[in-house]
Structure 1
Amino acid sequence: MFKERLGVTLDKEDEMDCLVAGANFLQRAIRDEAFTHLEGNKQFVQIDQSDMFPYLLVNIGSGVSMIKVDADGQFQRVSGTNVGGGTFWGLGRLLTGCKTFDQILELSQQGDNSAIDMLVGDIYGGLDYSKIGLSASTIASSFGRVISETKSLSDYRKEDIALSLLRMISYNIGQIAYLNAIRYKLKRIFFGGFFIRGHAYTMDTMSFAISFWSKGEAQAMFLRHEGFLGALGAFLSYDKHGLANLTAHQFVERFPMGAPYSGGNIHGPLIRDLNEKITWMEKFVQKGGEITAPVPTGYPSTTGLGGFERPLGRARSLRSDSSAALNVGVLHLIPSLEPFPLLADPKTYEPNTIDLGDLDEREYWFNILSEQLPNLVEKAVASEGGTDNAKRRGDAFAQAFRAHLARLREEPAAYGKLGLANLLELREECLREFHFTDAYRAIKQRENEASLAVLPDLFSELDTMDTETRLLTIIEGVLAANIFDWGSRACVELYQSGTIIEIYRMSRNKMQRPWRVDDFDAFRNRWMSGKPHYRALLFVDNSGADIVLGMLPFARELLRRGTEVVLVANTLPAINDVTYMELPTVVAAAATHCSILREAAIAGGVLLNATSLDDRSATTSTAPRLMVVQSGSGSPCLDFRQVSSELAILAEEADLIVLEGMGRSLHTNYDARFTCEALKLAMVKNQRLAEKLFNGAIYDCICRYEVGLKA
């Protein structure tokens, strides 16, 4: 019928093959995919790629299949039960009259199963049976209390029936799963299928069952995208259908699982393996439709296997209806991202410096981002000419981002492990979704022009100094220029009281050592006594004075010593950060005032307009190269677990990393360690962060130098 009416040919894939392939793919490809969920507490589990197998996959659909997974493509169905999700739904419809699966689940959250189930305490006069380790609240017999009563079905609350039924089936599945795990000596048990569906109380019930039967030695585990295992497995069968030789661009066109990375480079090598040469990213902004905050509900006041009682309203769950749709992000195919090769220990690397697991810290940053919204909307609308259409989109963006903040307030782990980098990336994603490609475009252009106007005077001043004095002045200039940050509320207030040059001069005049973190002497000693670095990666931050008066003079000094310099900038716009598409224009303008920059930029391919081929050949033969590369990021922060392939290639021979700016060296990567030398430079523009990290104050300066750790 599909072929006749639509001209579409369907290829059938094996269900179990797809389930297992989907589960393996998610554990490898998606960050913060696996988690435990007990007593309302979601904890993400990092899966060691070298120790993934074996595990038990419990797929709860109409019935239950228990699959022992030994490797990719190697698995066997070792057990199962006909008492599964279909049983719960079928009996639920008969006993409660509910028409949908979700209705029964919602009822269960308001239930008290002690009105239906016979408990150990009912048998032993309200007491525990401590001799054999059973508490009074342990269920002795599901639906057993009904035996001793003369009530009819209509006399029982539907909520209590639904909860009793949910617990009976969940505990039974949990026990069978644990017995199979013991039988095959499996360390991990993953639950999935239509029965789970990300429903918080269902996961709690399964988790407590596993904890009870294993005496706390085993944990139930879940996958955030578990509802899509079969679909993902079928998608991954692309190699069976002659698709393995498609280019990345052709692949995205044929299989648009979410839009490709906007602005990213998706041409290049052929895709041979979806599990290796590409990256999958999650995007949480829904296309079209209204985004609403979730509806919180209380946990039911119930009894269980023992020790699982809680007063009504003590903790909060989330409904399983459409409001939970924000739990799972759309997977986007990004063929050009990979781990940064210079991380000292990629397995333990954590980009976020501040833990947003702390409630006070989380609320502080939620409030900061909420307070910044009006100003950001104003800039975004102005960037689009202030039209009525832009104003409507600005309002829609603000509504969407507020909804996400509300969602994360209710369940901080809804989108994976929460960090400030994730929050800021989510905000930029929301802007892009409502077609604000660069909210600070006009501001960045004005600041670049103002800074370039005074750059020749700065170069002349530096050239009068000896090497040691010049190095200190350059580092002071980097720190002073880093004050220009439209992501900082304090700095926005500064802009209202002075011009960019006035603020830069004021900031530089106040550069008095010692700084809050001051490793300059160690870096100077390395600079003066050691051989020049071969290649330096300079991760730049803001447009305007930050890049022009701060980092370009530093790059120039490195080039003067014969060091290759790679300027690493954002792939996509974020606040007023300079992007890799904008950077060549800035470098070209600066190079008109400096032969060192000009020759290096020509040698590195940044400038392609040398006066003649002979001129270009002459300069590139001796000058060190100045190159510009994209980081792969669209955030004010930097996550080294995913960088562009171009950056990863250039990093192989780098022996110095310079991280500049709060987002890249304080909010993220302050504690990161690398296999080569690293210099972290920033002016602190947030009082709370200064106090938290080093008992400091706003406008403190950080110059942290670290000798590389060998891998």
Structure 2
Amino acid sequence: MNCLVSGANFLLKAIRHEAFTHMEGHKEFVQIDQNDLFPYLLVNIGSGVSMIKVDGDGQFQRVSGTNVGGGTYWGLGRLLTKCKSFDELLELSQRGDNSTIDMLVGDIYGGMDYSKIGLSASTIASSFGKTISENKDLEDYKPEDISLSLLRMISYNIGQIAYLNALRFGLKRIFFGGFFIRGHAYTMDTISFAVQFWSKGDAQAMFLRHEGFLGALGAFMSYEKHGLDDLMVHQLVERFPMGAPYIGGNVHGPPLGDLNEKISWMEKFVRKGTEITAPVPMAPPATTGLGGFEVPSSKGVLRSDASKLNVGVLHLVPSLEVFPLLADPKTYEPNTIDLSDHGELEYWFTVLSEHLSDLVDKAVASEGGTDDAKRRGDAFARAFSAHLARLMEEPAAYGKLGLANLLELREECLREFHFFDAYRTIKQRENEASLAVLPDLLMELDSLTEDMRLLTLIEGVLAANIFDWGSRACVDLYHKGTIIEIYRMSRKKMQRPWRVDDFDAFKERMLGSGDRKPLPHKRALLFVDNSGADIVLGMLPLARELLRRGTEVVLVANSLPALNDVTAMELPDIVAEAAKHCDILRGAAEAGGLLVDAMSNIQDGYKENTPSVPLMVVENGCGSPCIDLRQVSSELAAAAKDADLVILEGMGRSLHTNYNAKFKCDALKLAMVKNQRLAAKLVKGNIYDCVCRYEPAS
């Protein structure tokens, strides 16, 4: 029991979306504050049922239980239906109709409700009650009806007893786990309805994604002290590699040992002409006669195999921290798009699927187009398609799903098949082309007045943000012109007002009005997006302007490659090349320690006589086109402590995620919207509309 409680406490503290509710086939993840976790009631349903009041780590007591549990269901079910296994019995209940077995209120009152005391005609008055008045033998009843009636009888009683114990101790949180549940949707639904009915909505039944591992996790942690007791949720990342052959909702065979085994497994399905997907949903069970309360209105599919949640690999990354400039980390939600809406989910799945073949081509080309690269590319495409199929069937399979999670899953899948930088050659080519025209752009900017220069810089950032290999519309543009032609076309279209236009407010903060000149920001964090024109002709000139004003600048870039996004490892070389044409960038880069290695081949004679504010580069701790600011690198967290301006650039970091994020400091969000659906939904605009959203410190 100590292991059980330790495992539950660990998961509830370590996994952000570990707990969920389950009503009428719908899962909803529950965000739990670690500081408000205790006390709670843990209901473990195995052969019997134990109910444990948990007051803290190592503080618990078994307060109740019942001998009517999973063993009762299995034992009686085996005698009454001849089913041999527990899972077979659960599957049988899926096809059942308990109204042929149970006596309902309507059976007693001529099909009518007993509204005076709040009972509907479909309320179960007596489990198995109808069998006593019928001249039938056991063989005359369908096994599936018996199984469902038995399942409901036991689930409802466990739910009621659990609530009564929660009421006794004043507990609002009740977590259910154990062998009896097994991710079975209808079991969770019946327990949830019971708790909701008897509590009149005051209490909720909650379940755990990893409920089958509570005891094992607790045993692991108690066997030897691993220093895991004080882990924070932001230090753990769950990933979902192709760990074992999976088809038809089940794992087949031993774990896949290495990359070659994974590829060979994918190729087997190609030869056999089958898809690596979960099975097609079956019809839902009959919903007449829910025990003790109304029939649920939903007719949602409640397959047990589809409802089971996948278990990933939990990675400990102790260097990850919460971004310290978030106004309220507890309420922060990175994802802007709600993928719980099935229409949104289907749309973005289609977008990712349509982009897949082009991504595979780029990935294979980045590895020289070898036969080995082609094999890995095909295997990646099938693996990622299998992920999408699984998530289309059960969106909660990997936890709470947002667009950022989908995009990160794609990048992780690429890395799993050893494609570590699919756009490497494209990024190099676009960086070189952009750096070639940078000197002319800087001369143009220096010829402008201060206020015109600021407007031109913001226009330049928005125009250069058109370069995004993750956007289908932008990929089409690449086929029609060079990077410089596209950039010039984009700049010509930069006419205010933009769709979201807070430029005047930002300009006043930067330049003031009249005789009032505001102090410059102390330090600015620039979250950069794409390689090529985006960084070279957009964000670097903006960084240069901030440096000119005496503001320290930190360029924040990905730790790992994702699409054509620039990485922190690539930035020093880009800055070094740009610094050849600009004294401001050169002095700041030297002050920030960027030119020690990157400019070793530049003339040694140059030394900046006047001290410069530093230009620095830090990695953000992720490898995705989006960013979740609850998990950033410790270097970024440290750099943020002195920052008073955050600039988020690009669709992934400022629209798909963080559009609604609030910060303790001034924040500027800049992006060109390169998706028509997102433009219409988020800003009520059109594709290629621009967002310049300025929000003063909260």
Aligned to 2:263: none
- Deviation string 1:60-88 (CA, Å, 9 cap, x unpaired) is 11211100011121110001112111222
Aligned partners of 2:222 and 2:85: how far apart in 1?
A: 33
**Are 1:84 and 2:69 counterparts?**
yes
Aligned to 1:558: 546
Aligned residues: 662
Write out aligned runs for 1:447-596 (5 A).
Answer: 447-528=430-511, 529-596=517-584
- The answer (yes or no) to whether the contact 1:236–1:274 under 8 Å persists in 2 is no
Instruction: State the superposition RMSD in angstroms.
Output: 2.3
Classify the secondary structure of the residue corresponding to 2:694. Answer: strand
Instruction: For 2:454, give the aligned amino acid.
Output: L
**Are 1:286 and 2:286 counterparts?**
no
Match among 169, 184, 192 for residue 207 of structure 1: 192
Instruction: For 1:53, give the aligned amino acid.
Output: F
**Are 1:671 and 2:660 counterparts?**
yes
Judged with a 3 Å threshold, the aligned counterparts in structure 2 of structure 1 residues 112 and 325 are, in CA distance, closer, same or farther, namely closer
Aligned partners of 2:501 and 2:680: how far apart in 1?
A: 17
Aligned partners of 2:610 and 2:5: how far apart in 1?
A: 55
Aligned to 2:271: none
- The answer (yes or no) to whether the contact 1:298–1:314 under 8 Å persists in 2 is no
**Are 1:430 and 2:413 counterparts?**
yes
Instruction: For 2:650, give the aligned amino acid.
Output: G
Aligned to 1:304: 290
Judged with a 3 Å threshold, the aligned counterparts in structure 2 of structure 1 residues 369 and 278 are, in CA distance, closer, same or farther, namely closer
1:107 CA displacement = 0.6
Aligned to 2:687: 698
Write out aligned runs for 1:173-322 (5 A).
Answer: 173-237=158-222, 240-241=224-225, 243-244=226-227, 273-276=229-232, 279-290=235-246, 291-301=276-286, 302-309=288-295, 314-320=299-305
- The answer (yes or no) to whether the contact 1:67–1:75 under 8 Å persists in 2 is yes
Write out aligned runs for 1:371-386 (5 A).
Answer: 371-386=354-369
Aligned to 1:12: none
Instruction: For 1:585, give the aligned amino acid.
Output: D
Match among 606, 625, 643 for residue 632 of structure 2: 643
- The answer (yes or no) to whether the contact 1:294–1:324 under 8 Å persists in 2 is no
Aligned partners of 1:137 and 1:509: how far apart in 2?
A: 67
1:145 CA displacement = 2.2
- Deviation string 1:344-386 (CA, Å, 9 cap, x unpaired) is 1212211122222223222221211111111111111212222
Judged with a 3 Å threshold, the aligned counterparts in structure 2 of structure 1 residues 210 and 627 are, in CA distance, closer, same or farther, namely same
Aligned partners of 1:451 and 1:237: how far apart in 2?
A: 57
Judged with a 3 Å threshold, the aligned counterparts in structure 2 of structure 1 residues 616 and 33 are, in CA distance, closer, same or farther, namely farther
Match among 632, 641, 646 for residue 657 of structure 1: 646
1:325 CA displacement = 5.8
**Are 1:328 and 2:317 counterparts?**
no
1:553 CA displacement = 1.0
Aligned to 1:257: none
Aligned partners of 1:620 and 1:208: how far apart in 2?
A: 74
**Are 1:410 and 2:399 counterparts?**
no
Instruction: For 2:571, give the aligned amino acid.
Output: L
Classify the secondary structure of the residue corresponding to 2:348. Answer: helix
- Deviation string 1:127-150 (CA, Å, 9 cap, x unpaired) is 333333332322222222222234
Stretches of 4+ moved more than 6 A in 1? 614-618
- Deviation string 1:643-669 (CA, Å, 9 cap, x unpaired) is 111111111110000000111111111
1:506 CA displacement = 1.4
Classify the secondary structure of the residue corresponding to 1:296. Answer: coil
- The answer (yes or no) to whether the contact 2:152–2:291 under 8 Å persists in 1 is no
More deviation, 78-87/23-32? 23-32
Structure 1, unaligned stretches of length 5 or more? 1-15, 245-271
1:227 CA displacement = 1.3
- Deviation string 1:457-478 (CA, Å, 9 cap, x unpaired) is 2222222333222222211111
Instruction: For 1:637, give the aligned amino acid.
Output: C
Aligned partners of 2:605 and 2:34: how far apart in 1?
A: 48
- The answer (yes or no) to whether the contact 1:59–1:191 under 8 Å persists in 2 is yes
- The answer (yes or no) to whether the contact 1:602–1:616 under 8 Å persists in 2 is no
Match among 375, 380, 385 for residue 392 of structure 1: 375
- The answer (yes or no) to whether the contact 2:81–2:146 under 8 Å persists in 1 is yes
1:443 CA displacement = 0.9
More deviation, 74-83/133-142? 133-142
- The answer (yes or no) to whether the contact 1:297–1:319 under 8 Å persists in 2 is no
More deviation, 116-125/661-670? 116-125
Match among 128, 137, 142 for residue 157 of structure 1: 142
- With the length of structure 1 as denominator, give the TM-score of the two structures: 0.89
Instruction: For 2:581, give the aligned amino acid.
Output: H
Aligned partners of 2:690 and 2:118: how far apart in 1?
A: 59
Aligned to 2:10: 25
Aligned partners of 2:279 and 2:569: how far apart in 1?
A: 39
Aligned to 2:99: 114
Judged with a 3 Å threshold, the aligned counterparts in structure 2 of structure 1 residues 515 and 127 are, in CA distance, closer, same or farther, namely closer
Write out aligned runs for 1:350-369 (5 A).
Answer: 350-369=333-352
Judged with a 3 Å threshold, the aligned counterparts in structure 2 of structure 1 residues 656 and 133 are, in CA distance, closer, same or farther, namely same
- Deviation string 1:418-470 (CA, Å, 9 cap, x unpaired) is 22111211221221222211111111111111111111222222223332222
1:115 CA displacement = 1.8
- The answer (yes or no) to whether the contact 1:294–1:407 under 8 Å persists in 2 is no
Aligned partners of 1:396 and 1:281: how far apart in 2?
A: 24
Aligned partners of 1:618 and 1:73: how far apart in 2?
A: 62
- The answer (yes or no) to whether the contact 2:307–2:394 under 8 Å persists in 1 is no
Instruction: For 1:187, give the aligned amino acid.
Output: K
- Deviation string 1:278-307 (CA, Å, 9 cap, x unpaired) is 611121232242452254223211322255
Judged with a 3 Å threshold, the aligned counterparts in structure 2 of structure 1 residues 165 and 518 are, in CA distance, closer, same or farther, namely same
- The answer (yes or no) to whether the contact 1:33–1:223 under 8 Å persists in 2 is yes
Instruction: For 1:92, give the aligned amino acid.
Output: G
- Deviation string 1:588-641 (CA, Å, 9 cap, x unpaired) is 2222222222222222222214669x9899759822111111111221111111
Classify the secondary structure of the residue corresponding to 2:398. Answer: coil
- The answer (yes or no) to whether the contact 1:22–1:232 under 8 Å persists in 2 is yes
Aligned partners of 1:63 and 1:527: how far apart in 2?
A: 67
Aligned partners of 2:439 and 2:3: how far apart in 1?
A: 63
Aligned partners of 1:575 and 1:695: how far apart in 2?
A: 27
Classify the secondary structure of the residue corresponding to 1:298. Answer: coil
Instruction: For 2:532, give the aligned amino acid.
Output: G
- With the length of structure 2 as denominator, give the TM-score of the two structures: 0.90
Aligned partners of 2:229 and 2:127: how far apart in 1?
A: 49
Structure 2, unaligned stretches of length 5 or more? 247-275, 512-516
Instruction: For 1:328, give the aligned amino acid.
Output: V
